Structure 1
Amino acid sequence: MNARPSQRISTAIAKNDRKTINAWAMYDWANSAYALVIVSAIFPAYYNTITSADGTSTISLFGLSMENTAAYSINLGIAFGLIALISPLLSSISDYSSNHRSYMQFFCYLGAGGSMLLFFFTDYHLVYLGLGGMLLATVGYSGSIVFYNSYLPVIATEDRQDKVSARGYAFGYIGATTLLIINLVFILNQQALGVTDDTLFPRLSFLLTGLWWLGFAQIPFRVLPRGLYTAKPVGNRFTQGYKKLKKVWQQLQSQPRLKTFLFSFFFYIMGVQTVMFMASSFGEKEIHLGLTQLIVTVLLLEYLGIGGAFLFAWISKKTSNITALMISVGIWIMICAGSYFIITPIHFYIAAFFIGIVMGGIQSLSRSTFAKMIPKTGSNAAYFSFYDVCEKTAMMFGLVMFGYLDNLTGSMRNSIIALAIWFTIGLVLLFLVDKARPARQTIPS
């Protein structure tokens, strides 16, 4: 993110300082536990089990009868919709007040509090508490990331930003898998420890996640500077962020290739993120996998995701970014087609293997492809803000539509057909991007 002419980066912030960089990366260590332990591994299966305790997967929510997985999916979609709506406002206000750390702290505490609230979700009568805690945790996680990311270009010079970003990712991976393994050890030894309550260790994992997030976050909060700029930005603090997004949209009208890529990204990332958020729910509800099996599968996905990112980076180097993305999206379509027919755990593990391979690659390639395609401008941050809002909006539509179809048809398998359609639209648009190769434009900021 480049500082605007009216905003000067504080000279008190030392770039490439090892202590500051490590402290910044520790926030990834802290909050990635939520993304892995709660979102991907334990809570979806626990939620399905608790909300099916009366012998049916249908729950009553605000007077409506809904499939439990549909309510879960729609609830997540609403959370990401809220973030897509308010993130430009949050960025603008924090820039204006130069108090990024306090906003980051607020959303961190909101997310950690939401995670710990899930400890009290003990039966299906408390479904509002379970869904509410999940919504708060998701908003807190996504909201804090907005401010966490804003520190990167301020604490590291441009030539070091890729390396520093990778350090944050590595810290997050190590921290999250460490906590997940700790929780797995307790769950596997429930009988040996003499615990008869099957809900205790899963609920403790939610409490531990919140405490882990809250505790390790104090490291960056003690070291990172309060604000990033010495001067206030130009414009209204409440509308400036939205005006920038509008300006980017207007500029995209003269950049058909980039505009087509973003439409393609919207459709295929809708499918990618929906699969990542709902895979555990599908495994528990449709394949009847146990919690331990799901945790092991999620760990496998994490390891494969790292290898897949390097694999598709190599493919893009040998071909092109768009070609590598087309290959990845093509594999996603085949995964969706095959997943409709999954009936055994072995089938699920095979699908998980291929998901792991393409999961990391498509996300890293998408961002780097976008970075290469944006015009040379003095406000790259506005383009990346637009990209982030586009992704969050896609996640909202994807999860809400998945939940709606699940509730309409009574089976998550039918929702997979929608995923295949979204990926197919994304692939067709990528093909159009590959055919159009205009020169990169220079647009005034």
Structure 2
Amino acid sequence: MAIGKLTKQEKSWIMYDVGNSAFVLLSTALIPVYFSSIATGSVVVAWGYAETIASLVIALTMPVLGSLADLRHMKKKFLVGTVGTGALACCALGFATDALPFLLIYIVASIMLNSSMVFYDALLVDATTDERYDEVSSQGYAWGYIGSCIPFIACLAVVLGGGAIGIDIALGMKIAFFITAAWWVAFTIPVFKNVHQTHFKDRSAHVVRDAFSGLLGTVKRMWRTKSLRYFMLAYFFYIDGVHTIIKLSTSYGTDLGIDATQLVLALLVTQFVAFPSAIIYGRLGAKVGTKKMLLVGVFAYMCITLFGAFFLKSAVEFWILAVMVGLFQGGIQALSRSEFGKLVPKEHANEYFGFFDIFGKYAAVMGTFLVSVITQVTGQSNWGVFSLVVLFIVGFVLLRKVPDNA
């Protein structure tokens, strides 16, 4: 399906992936490099702990907030609130010149970004129909990858090339944070205007109390449903590893002594590779089965992790790794999101997607913590990366247990 055949609601929903991906790319490629210039000690350890704290906060709060967002007209209100706060925090990063304040502001920005994704993901059930989930979800990731490159290239221009016109690194980063925040907000407008919450639960007299009591019922229903139980457990492990690699790849390369410019340009290549790959991956899922394509992606990430741990020594290997990640990153994320959307009741989509995030999409607690601890104990960041193989092996085994007709 070409993007021209998408409905106005579907296109508007996809646009938010274009907007938030700008900050995702900046925080993956450029922010860790900038942080290394103002921090002391291992960048992998400090950045890993910061990501862990942000993920824990999201994991503890999103099921309750998601349950509240399932009420009539609430999804978009929560989306706008998290985007607005996150964009302000993004701008504030440019004024933090010491490591600790920078990390604290980044944690706030990361929490808001990832929280907004819960409400956005849940709007998928309002923006399209069941049979179009795989296509629309894949298009979202694909256009997010390619669209995020536009503001990112502008950021690179002012940060890396600003010296030619008298802009130092500090001022360049301030401008980059402002560009990213403005892009994020601008591409939130279409989904706010054109996607309407059609699935919701009725408001009761005891909203907060019912939100908490409803969570227990949701957990029980998820556990009793075999397809959801095994899918969520598998997802908890394999996507945790995927997002850990996304979050720590640049800081890992920095620890290995790879030139910052090479790191950033290689990760930019990942975005261009991921654009067609995500669309192709989604269509292969429709032809051969979502579960089969997810198993292929998890196995590929085992290989990627082993390559990164033991063969990544120079910029050339990092470029190879970037291409490998680009081939599978968008596909495994998109098909996981769409498959989950098919399995859950639509009127409780936010509540379920809150748990979806706890089980790994943005609650990458195990992975970042595991890499940080193993790196700190061994003094070798490659052994920290190698530890992620365990997550993919467990995820692969559990995913095989998901019924084929799920």
The normalised TM-score by structure 2 is 0.85
| Whole-angstrom CA distance in 2 between matches of 1:241 and 1:249 | 13
Aligned with residue 329 of structure 1, among 286, 293, 298: 298
State the match for 1:105 in structure 2: 80
1:84 maps onto 2:73 in alignment: no
Deviation at 1:401, TM superposition (A): 2.5
Aligned with residue 265 of structure 1, among 207, 232, 235: 235
Taking the TM superposition and a 5 Å limit, the aligned residue runs for 1:211-360 are: 211-217=182-188, 221=192, 223=193, 232-234=202-204, 236-290=206-260, 292-313=261-282, 316=285, 319-341=288-310, 342-360=312-330
1:32 maps onto 2:21 in alignment: yes
Alpha-carbon contact 1:74-1:404 (below 8 Å) kept = no
Query: Match for 2:176: what amino acid?
Result: S
Deviation at 1:179, TM superposition (A): 0.3
Query: Match for 1:267: what amino acid?
Result: F
Deviation at 1:167, TM superposition (A): 5.8
State the match for 2:162 in structure 1: 190
Shift of the 393–152 alpha-carbon distance from structure 1 to 2, 3 Å rule, reads closer
| Whole-angstrom CA distance in 2 between matches of 1:160 and 1:331 | 26
| Whole-angstrom CA distance in 2 between matches of 1:340 and 1:379 | 41
Shift of the 91–236 alpha-carbon distance from structure 1 to 2, 3 Å rule, reads farther
Alpha-carbon contact 2:138-2:335 (below 8 Å) kept = no
| Whole-angstrom CA distance in 1 between matches of 2:165 and 2:178 | 19
1:361 maps onto 2:331 in alignment: yes
Q: Deviations over 1:106-141 (max 9, x none)?
A: 21121111111111233xxx1121101211111111
| Whole-angstrom CA distance in 2 between matches of 1:256 and 1:158 | 20
SS at match of 1:305: helix
Taking the TM superposition and a 5 Å limit, the aligned residue runs for 1:3-42 are: 18=8, 24-37=13-26, 39-42=27-30
State the match for 1:176 in structure 2: 148
State the match for 2:173 in structure 1: 202
Deviation at 1:165, TM superposition (A): 5.0
| Whole-angstrom CA distance in 1 between matches of 2:398 and 2:282 | 21
Q: Deviations over 1:208-230 (max 9, x none)?
A: 21233345545655x35897689
1:118 maps onto 2:93 in alignment: yes
Aligned with residue 428 of structure 1, among 385, 390, 397: 397
State the match for 1:69 in structure 2: 44
The normalised TM-score by structure 1 is 0.78
Shift of the 161–275 alpha-carbon distance from structure 1 to 2, 3 Å rule, reads closer
Deviation at 1:181, TM superposition (A): 1.2
Structure 1 segments unaligned to the other structure (5+ residues): 1-15, 53-57, 59-66, 441-445
Larger Rg: 1
State the match for 1:411 in structure 2: 380
Taking the TM superposition and a 5 Å limit, the aligned residue runs for 1:151-166 are: 151-156=123-128, 165=137
Alpha-carbon contact 1:118-1:207 (below 8 Å) kept = no
Deviation at 1:350, TM superposition (A): 1.4
1:391 maps onto 2:360 in alignment: yes
Which stretch of structure 1 is more off in the superposition, 171-180 or 211-220?
A: 211-220
Q: Deviations over 1:28-63 (max 9, x none)?
A: 3332211112x12210111112214xxxxx2xxxxx
State the match for 2:117 in structure 1: 145
| Whole-angstrom CA distance in 2 between matches of 1:343 and 1:169 | 30
SS at match of 2:165: coil
Deviation at 1:429, TM superposition (A): 2.2
| Whole-angstrom CA distance in 1 between matches of 2:68 and 2:273 | 39
Structure 2 segments unaligned to the other structure (5+ residues): 1-5
Alpha-carbon contact 1:118-1:203 (below 8 Å) kept = yes
Shift of the 239–357 alpha-carbon distance from structure 1 to 2, 3 Å rule, reads farther
Shift of the 117–25 alpha-carbon distance from structure 1 to 2, 3 Å rule, reads same
Shift of the 422–158 alpha-carbon distance from structure 1 to 2, 3 Å rule, reads closer
Which stretch of structure 1 is more off in the superposition, 375-384 or 131-140?
A: 375-384
Q: Identity of counterpart residues, as a percentage?
A: 28
Deviation at 1:233, TM superposition (A): 2.9
| Whole-angstrom CA distance in 1 between matches of 2:159 and 2:84 | 27
Which stretch of structure 1 is more off in the superposition, 274-283 or 329-338?
A: 329-338
| Whole-angstrom CA distance in 1 between matches of 2:266 and 2:254 | 12
| Whole-angstrom CA distance in 2 between matches of 1:101 and 1:393 | 20
State the match for 2:3 in structure 1: none
| Whole-angstrom CA distance in 2 between matches of 1:225 and 1:253 | 31
Which stretch of structure 1 is more off in the superposition, 200-209 or 315-324?
A: 315-324
Shift of the 244–308 alpha-carbon distance from structure 1 to 2, 3 Å rule, reads farther
Aligned residues: 400
| Whole-angstrom CA distance in 2 between matches of 1:119 and 1:136 | 14
Deviation at 1:186, TM superposition (A): 2.7
State the match for 1:61 in structure 2: none
